[in-house]
Structure formats: structure tokens, C-alpha cells
Chain A
Amino acid sequence: AQSVTQLGSHVSVSEGALVLLRCNYSSSVPPYLFWYVQYPNQGLQLLLKYTSAATLVKGINGFEAEFKKSETSFHLTKPSAHMSDAAEYFCAVSDRGNQFYFGTGTSLTVIP
């Protein structure tokens, strides 16, 4: 079975500060891992994904995530937060089939 835990339902950072959103997964098979962003009243947009190639994955808008098998983690980072980064972020795990398992989301607030 697959599941995702996102630690911290709300994260606040100052503009220009490091963004760190945490995601731990559980999977009985080698997983595919994803980060999505959701702006108000919009659908989910893929930020980046891990599909068993490089463990450090770079995505859009300056975000990146590192797959750490030993820690079963896939934390999302960005060196310098921008006001436009304020949104809801979801981590998801897939068993490479048709099902995705999403975390409960982390709401990111960027303080000017």
C-alpha cells in the first residue's frame, strides 16, 4: 500500500527565505513521487516528479526535491521564496499504476 504524510499543514516564510515543505512516503514497491501546487480556485499543477532516475529532481519555478530512500522522504525546497509561491502544495506517491495517493497538503504563506 502507498501513503504520504506531509508534516505541517501551514508553513510561513519571509520573502527571500528558504522554503522547505516536508513529505514522507510509504510504499511497498519502488515509488514514483510528485509535488503539485494548487492556487485558489485552480486545478493541480505538476511542479516536479521522481521516477527512479536522478535522486535530485528540479522542477518549475525554482523548486527542487531530493528522493532519500533511507529516510523515505521527498522534501520540496526553494532557496528564495517569492510572493507568487503562496499556494497549497501536495505531495503524492504512485505505485506506477493508475492510482495516486495524495497527502493532506501544506499551505505556504509568504510574508513580505
Chain B
Amino acid sequence: GAGVSQSPRYKVAKRGQDVALRCDPISGHVSLFWYQQALGQGPEFLTYFQNEAQLDKSGLPSDRFFAERPEGSVSTLKIQRTQQEDSAVYLCASSPSLDRDKYFGPGTRLTVT
């Protein structure tokens, strides 16, 4: 079946622009996670949803970052007034439940110029 998909795969934004990154999880997966992977680093946790509820957003680096999953399926990570330090690959993962294996999408590479 289809895996986790993310769009766009690549995004170039000028500093100060707003961006929206989309994640389509595997159908029926309750849990959804966003990670930020800076160049040469491991992924770092941003936020976690269970269905439409955002249960943990402790990893969001600033109030410019906002995530939503209004119908408990597709999720959008929005970054307002992008800064150069926001340049990274943003990974989405989904799982059938919190204690089950995570399935990762291919990521969105964001470059802020």
C-alpha cells in the first residue's frame, strides 16, 4: 500500500516568507509526528498528534512554527517569517498507534535564502 507522502519535496523560500509543508500519513494511522533534520544531524522531534489532537508540541523551536491536523488525517506544518536557521529537511512519520512502529515519509527539504 501507499506509504507516507510529503509535499513539496523541495521548497526554496526567501527569508521572511511563510511556508506550508504537507504530510499525508498512511490511511488509518492514528499517530503522526513531525521532525526537523538539519544538515549532518539526526532528526529532532517537533510535534505529535493523536488523531486531530496535538498532544505534544514541545519541540517546536519558536512560535513561528505551527502544525495542524484538523480531520485527523493530513497534517500541515506551517512556518511563518522563515529564517535561514529554518533550513532543514522536515520529516513526517505516522504509526497505527503510539507504541507501534513509525513509518517515515521522504521529507521536505526547505532552503531559506
A98 in contact with B56 (CB, 8 Å): yes
Q: Which residue of B lies closest to A9 (CB)?
A: B40
A97 in contact with B44 (CB, 8 Å): no
Residues in A whose Cβ lies below 8 Å from that of B101: 46, 49
A69 within 8 A of B: no
A46 in contact with B102 (CB, 8 Å): yes
Q: How many residues of B contact A (CB 8 A)?
A: 26
Q: Which residue among A4, A9, A41 has the maximum number of chain B CB atoms within 10 Å of its CB? A: A41
B5, chain A: closest CB distance, angstroms = 10
B112 within 8 A of A: no
B63 within 8 A of A: no
A28 within 8 A of B: no
Q: A42-B106, A43-B91, A98-B48 are in contact. Are A105 and B98 (CB under 8 A)?
A: no
CB within 8 Å of B: which of A1-50?
4, 9, 36, 41-46, 49
Query: Whole-angstrom distance between the alpha carbons of A36 and B42 in the complex?
Result: 11
B31 in contact with A102 (CB, 8 Å): no
Query: Whole-angstrom distance between the alpha carbons of A102 and B41 in the complex?
Result: 9
Residues of B at the A interface (CB closer than 8 Å) are 3-4, 9, 31, 33, 35, 40-45, 48, 55-56, 59, 91, 93, 98-99, 101-102, 104-107
B13, chain A: closest CB distance, angstroms = 19
A65, chain B: closest CB distance, angstroms = 16
Query: Whole-angstrom distance between the alpha carbons of A100 and B71 in the complex?
Result: 25
A96 within 8 A of B: yes
Query: Whole-angstrom distance between the alpha carbons of A90 and B43 in the complex?
Result: 9
Residue of A90, A99, A103 near B45 (CB, 8 A) is A99
Query: Whole-angstrom distance between the alpha carbons of A101 and B42 in the complex?
Result: 8
Residues in A whose Cβ lies below 8 Å from that of B41: 104-105
A43 in contact with B105 (CB, 8 Å): yes
A102 in contact with B42 (CB, 8 Å): yes
Q: A43-B4, A43-B91 are in contact. Are A102 and B43 (CB under 8 A)?
A: yes
Query: Whole-angstrom distance between the alpha carbons of A38 and B93 in the complex?
Result: 14
Q: A100-B45, A102-B42 are in contact. Are A43 and B104 (CB under 8 A)?
A: yes
Query: Whole-angstrom distance between the alpha carbons of A99 and B3 in the complex?
Result: 21
